[in-house]
Each structure stands twice: as C-alpha cells, then as structure tokens.
Structure 1
Amino acid sequence: MAPSAKKLDQAIHVGSSRNISSTLGLAGGAVDLESANTRKVESRVDRKKLEKAERKLRAKQDRKEFKNVEYEASRLLNEPNEAQSYEEFYMAVNPLQLGDTASKSKDIKIDSFDISMPGLRILTDSSLTLAYGRRYGLVGQNGIGKSTLLRALARREVAIPTHISILHVEQEITGDDTPALQAVLDADVWRKHLLREQEKISKELAELEEERAKMADTSADAAKLDTQREGLDTTLSDIHAKLAEMESDKAESRAASILAGLGFSQERQQFATKTFSGGWRMRLALARALFCEPDLLLLDEPSNMLDVPSITFLANYLQGYPSTVLVVSHDRAFLNEVATDIIHQHSERLDYYKGGNFDSFYATKEERRKTAVREYEKQMAERAHLQAFIDKFRYNAAKSSEAQSRIKKLEKMPVLTPPEAAYSVHFKFPEVEKMSPPIIQMSGVTFGYSPDKILLKNVDLDVQLDSRIGIVGPNGAGKTTALKLLIGALQPTTGIISQNPRLRVGFFAQHHVDALDLNDSAVGFMSKTYHGRADEEYRRHLGAFGITGMTGLQKMELLSGGQKSRVAFACLALQNPHILVLDEPSNHLDIEAMDALSDALNKFQGGVLMVSHDVTMLQNVCTSLWVCDNGTIEHFDGTVKDYKRRITAQANDAGVVAKH
C-alpha cells in the first residue's frame, strides 16, 4: 500500500532556512517537519556529519561572496561607472595603509594550491612565493595557463592576505565624459575619498563659523557649536595629515607624467575617456594602475598595446616601482630590463629562478633540463642493469642472496619522472623565385583619410627581395597605414606607388584573427581558401608551423592566441609570397615561437617589411630601421637600442620622468 502524504500548511524554503536541514528524516513515508527539525525521528544521516557538511557549505558560500567582493575591488580601476559602489568595495577590502598600519608584511607565500578550469588542470599542489618589492616575469608556452593564474590571483581564489591590495590590468576602462587626467587621479580611491571628506568638513566648518558669529559667547548654543567645531577641526587635521603622508599635492603632476610617458600629449590628457579607442583606453587602465601603486600589480602582456616609446617608458618606470610586480610577457628585452626574478610555469607547476633576468633564466632552464635528462637516463640504465641480474639469478641458489639484495636496492631507488622534452616551435616559408627590381617603390607619397587630416607626407621607401626593414614609432603615427599603402589596400592622395606586376605580397595583419573563420578548423579553412590539396597536405603544412596532431582539426575558436597566429602564418606561406609585410607579428606568440619566427624570416629568400614593438625581433631580423613620426617615415641611422636611448633622452628633456 502506498504511503499517505501529509499536506503542508505553508511553503518551506529549505535553502534559505539555516535551522532546517536540507536532508529530512522520513517516517512511514510521510514528512513530519516538526519532528524532522527537532530531530525527534531517527535520521538516516549522521547528525554530526550533516552539521559538518552544512558548515562547510555555508563557509564555501561565504568565501564565494567574499571573493566576489575582493574581485570587484581588484577590478575597480577599470570600472569607472558605478564609482561609488566600487569605492565602497575597495575601501572595505583595502584599508588605508598609512603610518603604523603600513608596516604589515606584504610578502606572499602560499603553499599547496591547485588551479583548474573546465577540462584542464593548470597547477597542481603548487607554491607561490612573491617577495615584496620584487618584479617577477611569468613565462611559459602558449596555452599553459599564465593568464588564468593572474585572474585567480586577482579574484583571490588563492589565499592572499586581505591587507594586500591587488590590481589586474585586464581590460580597458569604460569611456565617459571624464578627462583622461582626471580618470587617472580618480583611480586613487582613498585620495579621492579624503579630498571629498576634506571639502565636506571645510564647508561644515564655514557654516558653523557663520552661525557662531551670530551668537553671544556665553550662550549654551555657542558652547555646543564650539565643541562641534573642535571635533571637526580634529577630523580635518587628521585628513590633512593623511593627504600629506600620501603626497596628495604631487598627485596631478605624477599622473600627468605617467600619461605623457604612455603617449598622451598635454592636449590629449584633457580629452574625455569616451573619445579614445580601445587601445588607448587600455593605456589609460595601465596609467591608472601605475598611479595607484597596488601592493601587487598584475600585468598580462602589457607590451601588446604599446609602441616602442611607451614600452621604453614602462620598463624604466617599473624599474623603480616600490611594490610587487607579476608580469606575463613574451618580450625578451622588456623582461631583461624589468624582471628581478623569473617564474617558469610548466607541467602544472611553478619553477623559480631568483636574481636573474630572462637571458640567465633561459640558460639555467636548459641546463636544468639537460641535467634532469642525464640523471633520468643514468637511473634507467642502472635499473635495467639491476633488473637483468635479478631476472637471470632470481632462482639460482648460489646467487639468490645477491638477487634479493638487488631487489631491495631497486625498491629503494627513488622513482624519477621522465623529464619533459625540449619545447620547440618551427616556422618555414617557401622558396622565392627571383624577380627583377623594382619590387615595391613609394615615391613622394602623401596620404590622409580626409583632406584636412594628412597623416603621411612626402614618403619615399624602396623594398627589394633582400630588404629587412623595421618600422617603429608612436601608435597613431601612421605605421599600419603605410603598410596598407604598400600592399595596395589604400591609395595615396598624391605620389606614386609602383610594383612589379608579378609580385605576390603576403600581408600579416595586426588583427589577423578577423580573417579566420573561427567556427571552422584550420585544415577546413585552408581547404576552402587555398584549393587543390589533400587534407593530409594541409596538416603537414600546418605542422611546419607548430600546429600538430589533432590541433589542426579542432575549431579555431578553441585555439590559443598563439596557435591562431601560427595558423595565420601558415596561410600566409601558402600564398608563396615574394615579400612579407608584417604588422605586429609577435603579438600572442610565446618566446620560443618568436625565436622560431625570427629564424624563419632570416632564412626567407624574399623581402621583409615589419612594424613591430618587439625590440628583440627587430634586432634579430631587421638590418634597416625607419621611424614613422610627425607625418614622415625616415631612415634611422642606428640600432633599435640607439633609438630607445634617443626616446629616453627626449622624454627626460620634456620632463617625463620615470620616478615615483
């Protein structure tokens, strides 16, 4: 017979009631809420275990809520909208660190933590050690999870002490009517709050003084106002002291200097943030972070959004940064200048290389790997030797004791894991047929997107099959425009651009991903775009660019940024170009891939013309340097390092100093 059910007199919200267990005792099939709640019936679940589980669940929910608050605070500087609520978040989790309260240790030491994402383990039983004031370069191959680690730190998914402020420069700021300079000043939440309080109290004091002047000194109301005024005076003095300690009076000049170093002229510093493009808003987010000086600054590929002058400023600025920096970068020269230590993320762990720049890390890492290979091979040989003796004499009465001894020795040997193979990437461009000059020639070229806004004027540039030309200069000066003029994507306003009629140009766009069908696989995309080959040929071709195994058959939306770049280069090679025109080719590539690309470009028999912010790639590939600035493109007589020195000298002459 089916058990009868008792009708409930009222709805029960189990999830929202902490006094009622979400697991109810059943007696005879009917639900008795009173006895279930007071435990008068026998439960099938152990009470202590149940309470422990519920406590853990509540604690987990509390931690989740707190992490959300912490993360919102860490994102504050990139979210100027709803500023008041975010200010409250920020001040709640980042108490003002002045005077004695600033003496708390800012070192970070976290042991035995894991980080994962759906279907992928990023770190397992890892330790994070960041000494306050050190600058760490986080390196590792594409797709290893470096950006995921930074996000986990920003969200405090690992146990970072709450008194340590964190800022992750991850996204551009939201544009509004706030001038760029003011947007940077507003990033210092505590300074903004104290200035607002100072203005409020000063106004209250002025009103009190006006009211007090109308009263006789002996009145009771006058005495009350005097007491109130003394309290406000004390509060105002405290605010003045805090503002003085944080050097509030120097804030505007410091903010303006940071903006100038990142390419904002005095005029542009007064433009509303909504007028800037995404790339310039990213610079604003970076400027706000540098101005705010959090205890832990997290930067993810900062050079991707910068030009050589801005990278030079940032490197100089970070060298004097007072707090801790953790930066993901593929720019070898930038890491050599900035990093005091290197953290290598690989094989679900973090390896530390203390007190050295990237070049010393690279040499040490390779030596460590070779040592591990030697130790592993030595042990494998010893194990094989012992096992051979054991197999031969295990059942030999005369040798049994020796066999047993070797068995024990084999059991005591530590088990070494096979060392990972050396990570290598390969790029290969096709051979180039010879061609008579001129290849590409620009003569007296002037161009403007409108008649009243001329971007380039009187440009003369000659590209041959043996050219290795690098173009540098500030963002917005017209570098990409010059490349588009060369390949015929734009027509000059005046002047002549001549090409050999048989010329094939391979153009790598800065936003090359836009040309890929991310819903298709690399093999499928190639077969549709470059007809006439079997899928196996496309797979072999992709393999020459490091896209191996099943990767070429996956949807491209699942590939990392570096893998998409390699697909784009593989497509470029299928065009059999005579000239490679490359706009920021290093973006999204890891350091090994950049080295491979540099090697392939040096072996390429055709001409190379590239716009790049990566100093190492420019040094390794280009034999001729041109500077695009102030409407012209002119040959620079010197190396990239000479150009950087000139930029630094010009910045110093202009009063842009990398000091804190």
Structure 2
Amino acid sequence: MLSMSDISIRIAGRLLIDDSTVQIVPGARVGFVGRNGVGKSTLFHAIRGDLPTESGSITLPPRWRIGSLAQEAPDGPESLINVVLKADLERDALLREAETADDPHRIAEIQTRLVDIDAHSAPARAAAILSGLGFSAADQGRPCSEFSGGWRMRVALAATLFSAPDLLLLDEPTNYLDLEGTLWLEDHLANYPRTVIVISHDRDLLDTSVDRILHLDRGKLTLYKGTYSSFEEQRAMREMLDAKHAKRQADERKRLQAFVDRFKAKASKARQAQSRVKMLERMKPVTALVTQDVREITFPTPEKMLSPPIIAVDDVSVGYDPKKPVLNRVTLRVDTDDRIALLGSNGNGKSTLVKLLANKLQPFSGRVTRADKLSVGYFAQHQVDELNLDASPYDHVRRLMADAPETKIRGRTGAIGFSGKAGDTLVKSLSGGEKARLLLGLATFFAPNMIILDEPTNHLDIDSRAALAEAINDFPGAVIMVSHDRYLIEACADQLWVVANQTVTSYDGDLDDYRRLVLSIGEPRNGSRERPKETAKPERVRNERRTPLKQRIAEAEAEIERINGIIAKIDIALALPDIFTRDPKQAAQLSKARAGAESALRRAEEDWLEASSEFDEAAG
C-alpha cells in the first residue's frame, strides 16, 4: 500500500501539507481534490521521490512501478503506435534482446517472460488506447512531429496508460481531451486494475471513475470513501458537526474565563480559579471548517435584447481552404436565449463553427444572416497566450476604458474578480484559474448579446466551475459552449449539436445517451479525421483507405518474420543433444516459449490475412 505517515511538505517557506497521515490500499481509485494552489501537484512530486518531505515518510511496496504523465510531449519521427509501445520498458528491452540472444537458456527465459506479460497482444492494446483518445488507424502510423502539442500530450497520456504502472498518478488528464476522449478516459479509469490517484476538477469523472476522495484543505489530507458526491455529503456533515463542537467549546471557554475573571482576586476562590486557568490552557482549540467562498463570476447584461433569430446559417460551406472545406451544407439558427453545447471529437470542426458564428471566418458559399447590432463575446483557452504577461488585470481593463476615471476602472477590474491589490498583480504571477477568470471578464466586457465559450473550464477548480455554470444560467443572452466538462453541459445546455462528418446536426438524446454511443463497440471515434465517402472523390477515398492498410500489412509481415526467427532459435536450442534429460527445466521453458511464439505467429498471420483482404476490397 501507499503509506504517508505524519508528512509535512514546505515549498519556498510555505507549509503546504502539515503533519498528515493517509493510507491508500492497493487497487484503490482515488480522486485527489482541493482548491488550486493548495499543493496537490507538489504531493505527486513527493510520492515520485522528486521532492523530499520536511518530516514524516512516504513508503510504497518495493516493486511498485510509478507512472505519471510526462511533462513534455513526445516529438520526433517515430510513429504514435511505436511511441506508446516503447512505454512498456520491460517488453521493449526483452524484444530487443530477443533479436540478438544466442544462449538457449536465455532465449527460453525471454520468451517465457514475453508470454507471461502478454507481449504479443501489446500492439492491439496500444492501438485501442490511442483510438479511445481520438487517433484513427491512419494517425497511429504517422510521426509524432506531425501533430500539435495538445495532440502529442494525448500520445503521452496513451503511453502512460499503456505502461499500466502499479501506481498511476494523473494530474488533470482531461485538460488535453475533448468530451469524447474524456468519456473514454472515465471508463478506462473506472476499470483500471491497479492503484490510481487522479487530480481532477471534473465532477463526472470523480463520480464515475473513483471509489475514494483524497481532500487537501488547509494543509491537512483527509481520505473519504465513495465518489465525489458522497464526499460532498460527508464533508457537509463534518462541517456541521465541527461547527457545533466549536460553538460548544467557545461557550465553555467563555464560562471558564468568566469564573476566572470574577474570582481570581478572592483568596477563598484562588485555587478554583487557578484550576480553571489550567483547564483553559489544556483545552485544544477546535476550529470550525470555514468554507472558502469562491469568487462569483458574472456576465454583464446586454443593453438591448435582439429579435430572434440572432444568427441564421443557410447552406454554408466554411473552412480554411476553399478546395477542402471543414464544414459543408450547414443550416442552423441561434435564438436570443439559446444554450447550445457542441459535441464531436477534436478535429471535426467545432472551432471552425464557433469562428463562423463569431464572424471570425467567412463562408465559402451559402449565407449567414446576423441580427442588426449583434455583439459576440468569444472566449478560447488559447487566448491566454495573448495576455500581456508584464501587465496587470487593471492595465488590461484600462486599455478598454482609456478615457474613464480611475474609480470606474478600478470598479470594473473588481467586477471581473480582481479587486484591491489583486488588480495590480502581474499576469505572469496569476494562476491558470485566475488567467481564465481575467479572459472571461475581458471577453464579455462590452455586454455581448451572445457568448461563445471554447473549453472555459481548463484550470478552473470545482467551485469555480460551479460559479461559471451559475453565471451562464443567469445570463439573459445566448451561450454556445464547447467543453469536456459534463457537469457544465448538463447544468447549462438545453440543446446539443453534433459536429461530425463535415456537418452539424441536432442531437435528440441526452449526455448519457451520447456517452453510450461514444463507448459502444464499433462507434466511429475518428471519422472526423477522414473525409466522408459521399463527399470525397472515389479514388481519393480508396487511397485513404489503402494507406493505413498497407502499413498494417507491412507491420504484420515484419512481426511474422520476427516470430519465425524466434521459433528458429528455439528449435535450435531444443535440438541440442540430451537437453530433455540433461536440463528438463530448461527444455520445459523452451517448449512453453515455442507454444507462446506459435500462438503469436497465428495471430500475426490472421492480422495479415485480414488486412490483405481489406486492402484488396479497397483497391477493387
């Protein structure tokens, strides 16, 4: 088990964890929660051994492997599938050694171990993980260097999951995922066979994938059994009991102090008064758990409500290259107070659609009609890079109110969450959540009629996400959102639009229905990355289908050749004179290894036949 005994951790003079003890049993799936900046990621560093504790100890079973998401995304010419496969260090080392090993005894050990760790099924397992995280079969054979940083971080996550460590540490893994990838990850973690601790502010993940909640609050670690919803109930009860206890103690202190004050000068009562002074000194103060109220998020009310529809899109084609539109024949409308959530895997065109609606992209064909004087507030997480790191929130607001008096500028800065000294803090010193709040305030500064929110919850903690949901529901105008946070969508959206297959359609089910669809066997997770048959030229479609199949055939042929080489080496070893009488244990290992290699050879041959058959169909 993972044992943290009386640990204290201090960073730059600040005590983050104070004399806490927690025991996490093997196989537990733990959600690690707490406000931003309290020290959750710091504890991960300590568990990995990258950071010493000030006092106390952290111990793990001696053979446990710890796995966590790499800080830097993988890059370079290697294919995605190979990057993931190499994450299993033992398998990779054994396979490399198997290519050069000549000693019969060592060959037997290697092949027996490969059978034990099910090494021959590894490519299929790696491909399934990559597919779940949004990579098509064709994508999996492409070099890492062809993908953006966000997609390469998904590859890093896939590699971590594939390595299946005894202790899996994940720090906000959904920040790089769309809703579809998040739903897959929830299901994967819920069935993870070993110990996992995940830092997350995603309520649905914490209700779906974990069976314990580790809470870090004011330096203390507390482990609760159950999901996040159960944790909230238990914590509310604890707060109520502690508040009652604190009140009783305060009343008792007041009574004792009154006795001391009244009788300390009287000789006849001096002994009793002194006794009560000692009682006061021994009485350990109980502090009621005071809820740290989250700062409110508000959106300014539009000056004028417009007549519906505020946007009408009729038979529109849009994208970045007229020869290759991202979306085709899109027809839709947005009314005054709509709450619309966009669903669909990354790459399908959600960002293209919101840019069209925000008037940042012009259509190639069709017509977009906008209400007169329509104003749109547009928030996208990548806009963090556009903030001036050496300016303060006050400076950003002042640029939007150049002629306003100082008091009004300060008032508006406070209204978006940066009152007093916080308004003068440089952006580079703000946390991720504070930067997101600043961006939300700037995006909606001029009271737009419609707000577009593209992944607004990244870096927001659970309470801030709840505040955002409340702000959306209080806003009288239209809201269009793209988010991997199910809680936000379920709390706010009354319409679901699916962006897939180069178009936009209304989805009649709810998110539970959509989750079942995403996780269902054979559901096309990656259709967005390949052009639909009905809109692409037949020859291009055939080429697109043949390319990944050619790679799959080549990989199967290489695997067949490799396994045949292993079998040949084993046969040479088994042919040694008197091996069964001289060393029956080694002979048994070699026989077991040969049986495992033959089984792997059959699977590789079946894969080759299947891919070859599909290639012939695609070519025909």
TM-score range, shorter chain: 0.7 to 0.9
Distance 1:327 1:533, change over 3 A: farther
Superposed CA offset, 1:442-470 (max 9, x none): 21111132233221011122112210001
Say whether residues 1:326 and 2:220 are aligned partners.
Answer: no
Change in 2 beyond 3 A, CA 1:647/1:499: same
Which of 387, 393, 396 lines up with 2:257 in the alignment? 387
Q: Confirm whether residue 396 of structure 1 aligns to residue 396 of structure 2.
A: no
Query: What's the counterpart of residue 262 of structure 1?
Result: 133
User: Which letter maps to 2:10?
Assistant: S
- Note if 1:151 corresponds to 2:45: yes
Aligned to 2:34: 140
Read off the aligned partner of 1:188 and give its amino acid letter: D
- The match for 1:527 among 371, 395, 398 is 398
Q: Distance in 1 between matches of 2:255 and 2:372?
A: 68
SS of equivalent to 1:389:
helix
Deviation string, structure 1 residues 556-585 (Cα, Å, up to 9, x no partner): 111110011111122233211111111011
Number of paired residues?
519
What residue number does 1:444 align with?
315
Q: Which residue of 2 aligns with 1:220?
A: none
**Counterpart AA for 2:251:** A
- Amino acid corresponding to residue 431 of structure 1 in structure 2: T
Tell me if structure 2 keeps the 8 A contact 1:512–1:565. Answer: no
1:163 equivalent in structure 2: 63
Q: Are the structure 2 counterparts of residues 419 and 540 from structure 1 closer, same or farther at C-alpha, using a change threshold of 3 Å?
A: farther
Of residues 584, 602, 606, the one that matches 2:477 is: 606
SS in 1 for 2:277: helix
Q: 18, 38, 49: which one pairs with 1:124?
A: 18
In the other structure, the counterpart of 1:109 is 3
Q: Could you say which residue in structure 1 is the equivalent of 2:547?
A: none
Following the alignment from structure 1 to structure 2, what is the Cα–Cα distance between the partners of residues 626 and 363?
34
Which residue number in structure 2 is paired with residue 305 of structure 1?
176
**Inter-CA distance 421–332: structure 2 relative to 1 (3 Å threshold):** closer
Structure 1 residue 375: deviation in Å? 1.5
Task: Measure the CA separation in 2 of the matches of 1:406 and 1:296.
Answer: 52
Aligned equivalent of 2:519: 648
User: 1:241-299 CA deviation, whole Å, 9 max, x = no partner?
Assistant: 11111011111111111111111111111111111111111111111111111111111
Contact 1:167-1:294 at 8 Å conserved across structures: yes
In structure 1, how many angstroms separate the alpha carbons of the residues matched to 2:525 and 2:254?
70
Which of residues 293, 301, 307 in structure 2 aligns to 1:423? 293
| CA RMSD, Structure 1 to Structure 2 (Å) | 2.0
How many angstroms apart in 2 are the aligned matches of 1:548 and 1:154?
38
- Shift of residue 388, structure 1, vs aligned partner: 1.6
Moved more, 547-556 or 615-624: 547-556
Structure 1 residue 635: Cα displacement: 0.3
Structure 2 match to 1:183: 83
Range with greater deviation from structure 2 (172-181 or 620-629): 172-181
> 1:494-513: per-residue Cα shift (whole Å, max 9, x none)?
11112123111111112131
Cross-structure match for 2:588: none
1:199 aligns with 2:69: no
Q: Which amino acid aligns with 2:66?
A: I
Q: Which has the larger radius of gyration?
A: 1
Counterpart-to-counterpart distance in 2, 1:249 and 1:453:
40
Q: Note closer, same or farther for the CA distance 1:495–1:598 as it changes in structure 2 (3 Å cut).
A: same
Name the SS for the 2:216 alignment partner: strand
CA spacing shift, 1:189–1:520, aligned 2, 3 Å: same
Percent of pairs with identical residues: 38
- Using the alignment, how far apart are the partners of 1:324 and 1:343 within structure 2? 13
Query: Residues of 2 paired with 1:652 and 1:627: CA distance?
Result: 14
Determine if contact 1:135/1:325 at 8 Å carries over to the other structure. yes
Within the candidate set 467, 474, 479, 2:350 is matched to 479
Q: Mark the CA change 1:498 to 1:132 in structure 2 (over 3 Å): closer, same or farther.
A: same
1:643 is paired with a residue of what secondary structure?
A: helix
- Is the CA contact (8 Å cut-off) linking 2:455 and 2:481 kept in structure 1? yes
Q: 1:357 aligns with which of 222, 227, 237?
A: 227
Of 233, 242, 266, which aligns to 1:372?
Answer: 242
Contact 1:300 1:329 in 2 (8 A): yes
Query: Matched residues in 2 for 1:653 and 1:518: separation?
Result: 42
1:489 aligns with 2:345: no
Distance 1:480 1:122 in 2: 39
Asked if 1:341 is matched to 2:235, the reply is no
Aligned equivalents of 2:80 and 2:257: distance in 1?
72
User: Cα gap change, 1:276/1:112 in structure 2, threshold over 3 Å: closer, same or farther?
Assistant: same
**Does the 8 Å CA contact 1:530/1:574 hold for their aligned counterparts?**
no
Write the mapping of 1:231-242 to structure 2, written as runs, cut at 5 A: 232-242=103-113
Question: AA paired with 2:499?
Answer: C
Q: Give the match's secondary structure for 1:199.
A: helix
- 1:295 paired to 2:189: no
CA gap of 1:551–1:272, structure 2 versus 1, over 3 A, is same
* CA deviation after TM superposition for structure 1 residue 420, in Å: 3.3
Higher relative contact order (CA 8 A, sep 6+): 2
Describe the shift of the 1:514–1:529 C-alpha distance in structure 2 as closer, same or farther (beyond 3 A). farther
Residue identity in the other structure for 2:40: K
Structure 2 residue corresponding to 1:591, chosen from 455, 462, 485: 462
Q: Which moved more, 1:369-378 or 1:473-482?
A: 369-378
* Structure 2: distance between partners of 1:148 and 1:412: 35
Picking from 157, 160, 172, the partner of 1:286 is 157
d(CA) in 2 for partners of 1:357 and 1:479? Answer: 32
Which amino acid is 2:205 matched to?
F
Question: 1: CA distance between counterparts of 2:308 and 2:288?
Answer: 54
1:160 CA drift (Å): 4.1
Q: What secondary structure, in the 3-state scheme, does the structure 2 residue paired with 1:574 have?
A: coil
The one-character-per-residue Cα deviations of 1:1-35 (angstroms, maximum 9, x if unpaired) are xxxxxxxxxxxxxxxxxxxxxxxxxxxxxxxxxxx
Q: Distance in 2 between matches of 1:117 and 1:376?
A: 31
Q: Which amino acid aligns with 2:9?
A: I
Which residue in the other structure is 1:458 paired with?
A: 329
Distance 1:651 1:319 in 2: 20
Structure 1 gap segments, 5+ residues each: 1-106, 205-231, 656-660
For the 8 Å contact 2:341–2:482, the answer to whether it is kept is yes
Change (3 A) 1:652 1:634: closer
- Aligned partners of 1:441 and 1:463 also within 8 Å: yes
Contact 1:172 1:284 in 2 (8 A): no
Note the 1:479-518 alignment, pairs <5 A: 479-518=350-389
Unaligned 5+ residue runs, structure 2?
53-57, 527-620
Alpha-carbon separation, structure 1, partners of 2:212 and 2:180:
24
* TM-score (normalised: structure 1): 0.75
Cα distance, 1:113 vs. partner? 2.5
Tell me how far apart the structure 2 counterparts of residues 611 and 460 of structure 1 sit (CA, whole Å): 19
Asked if the contact 1:308/1:644 (under 8 Å) is kept, the reply is: no
The one-letter code of the counterpart of 1:140 is: G
1:514-535 Cα shifts (integer Å, max 9, x gaps): 2321111111221123334445
SS at match of 2:5: strand
Shift of 1:179: 1.3
- Aligned counterpart, 2:280: 410
CA shift in 2, pair 1:124/1:540, >3 Å: farther
Following TM superposition, where does structure 1 have runs of at least 4 consecutive aligned residues deviating by more than 6 angstroms?
652-655
- Going from structure 1 to structure 2, the CA distance change for 1:654 and 1:590 (only over 3 Å counts) comes to closer
Secondary structure of the residue aligned to 1:450 is coil
Tell me the equivalent position of 1:73. Answer: none
1:65-84 alignment, distance < 5 Å: none
Distance 1:540 1:138 in 2: 36
SS where residue 453 of structure 1 aligns? coil
Q: What is the distance in 2 between the residues matched to 1:444 and 1:242?
A: 59
One-letter code aligned to 2:48? A
Contact preservation (8 Å) 1:168, 1:299 = yes
1:245 and 1:236 map into 2 onto residues whose CA distance is 14
**Separation of aligned partners in 2, 1:443 and 1:495:** 6
